[in-house]
């Protein structure tokens, strides 16, 4: 059996609430309160929930953007908390994240090619020429014309911008990509194009995804396993088919009942 790319064990992220003139910690917001799951290579785990459920905070903790209060995050079986600086840098190359809003994720004054090449530069990968070739390949991969490289973000539509963001996330050949509401801001006709791209990339590159979303129809379409979160806790978790056919928890049923049907 292979090792999970990401293994989350009893993760807790608590934020202190300070009050009074001394700013003493009087309580905690339990943003994430005991979440565990494994992400296997080439698979998709979705975290669904409403706003404030802790789904994004879980994603940030996996990325190392948020320090866990308790619990462990193992990357390829190694505890992130015990890693040296260089090991952390190496894990950063294996995990990437794509956010909801491609407009704020791109530097408006940087060409698409420069944006995509930036992670390669930061990690000192290849020569300038290697990087140029890699950018061309990435543009092909995400379905953008090679001429797109010289253009600025404002010359692209929302869907094309998200393709640039995805190309940048793939620049370092990650094993897993965390998609935080990555299709939520897109128009419906564009949303399906990007979902198709995620599925294609998965079968082509063997990528694994942690797919964070509030949209149950999207999640059902793309995920192998699902965690349903509410107020920091996982109320239900299991294979997608089971969750959608025989949801056990009352809240999961409520969520499913609230989805408008076509």
Partner 1 sequence: MMPIPRETQAQTPVLSCTDLRIEIGGNPVVDGTSLSIAAGETLALVGESGCGKSMTALGLIRLLPDAAHLSGGQISLQGERIDQLSERQMNRLRGNRLAMIFQEPVASLDPLMPVGRQIAEALSRSDTLTSAEVRTRVLDMLTRVGIDRPEIRARQYPFQLSGGMCQRVMIAMAMIRQPILLIADEPTTALDVTIQKQILELMGDLRRETGSAVLLITHDMGVVSESANRVAVMYAGRIVETGSVAQVFARPRHPYTAMLLRTIPRLDGPRKQALPAIAGAVPDIRDWPGGCRFHPRCPLATDHCRAKAPPLASVGASHETACWHHDRIATELT
Residues that bind partner 1 (CB under 8 A): 50-51, 157-160, 187-193, 195-196, 199-200, 214, 216-218, 220-222, 224, 240-241, 244, 254-262
CB of 141 to partner 1, least distance (A): 16
CB of 241 to partner 1, least distance (A): 8
CB of 215 to partner 1, least distance (A): 8
Torsion of CA 79, 8, 170, 186, to 10 degrees: -150
Separation CA 256–CA 161 (nearest Å)? 31
Between β-strands 70-75 and 176-180, what pairing exists: parallel, antiparallel or unpaired? unpaired
- Identify the three-state secondary structure at position 186: coil
Separation CA 134–CA 215 (nearest Å)? 33
Place of tokens 């802790």: 54
HSE of 168 in the Cβ direction (CA atoms, 13 Å)?
A: 26
Report yes or no: 95 and 62 within 8 Å, Cβ to Cβ.
Answer: yes
List the 208-213 sheet strands across, edge first. 95-98, 176-180, 208-213, 44-48, 225-230, 233-239
Structure tokens at 226: 């699902």
Separation CA 260–CA 217 (nearest Å)? 10
CB of 14 to partner 1, least distance (A): 22
Report yes or no: 97 and 63 within 8 Å, Cβ to Cβ.
Answer: yes
CB of 195 to partner 1, least distance (A): 6
Contacts of 191 (CB under 8 A, 6+ apart): 183, 218
Q: Which helix (H) or strand (E) holds 153?
A: none
CB of 51 to partner 1, least distance (A): 6
CB of 50 to partner 1, least distance (A): 4
């Amino acid at each position: 059996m292979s090792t999970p790319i990401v293994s989350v064990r009893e993760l807790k992220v608590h934020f202190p609430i300070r009050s009074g003139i001394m700013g003493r910690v009087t309580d905690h917001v339990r943003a994430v309160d005991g979440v565990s799951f494994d992400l296997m290579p080439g698979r998709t785990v979705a975290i669904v929930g409403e706003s404030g459920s802790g789904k994004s905070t879980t994603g940030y903790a996996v990325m190392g953007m948020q320090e866990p209060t308790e619990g462990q995050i193992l990357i390829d079986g190694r505890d992130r908390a015990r890693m040296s600086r260089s090991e952390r840098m190496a894990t950063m190359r294996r995990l990437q994240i794509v956010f909801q809003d491609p407009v704020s994720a791109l530097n408006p004054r940087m060409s698409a090619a420069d944006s995509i090449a930036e992670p390669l530069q930061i990690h000192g990968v290849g020569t300038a020429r290697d990087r140029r070739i890699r950018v061309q390949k990435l543009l092909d991969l995400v379905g953008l014309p090679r001429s797109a490289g010289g253009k600025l973000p404002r010359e692209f539509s929302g869907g094309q911008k998200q393709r640039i963001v995805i190309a940048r996330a793939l620049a370092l050949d990650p094993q897993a990509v965390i998609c935080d509401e990555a299709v939520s801001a897109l128009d419906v006709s564009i949303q399906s194009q990007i979902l198709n791209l995620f599925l294609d990339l998965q079968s082509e590159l063997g990528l694994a995804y942690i797919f964070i979303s509030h949209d149950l129809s999207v999640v059902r379409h793309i995920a192998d396993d699902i965690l349903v979160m509410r107020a920091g806790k996982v109320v239900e978790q299991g294979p997608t088919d089971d969750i959608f056919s025989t949801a056990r928890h009352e809240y999961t049923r409520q969520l499913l009942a609230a989805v408008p049907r076509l």
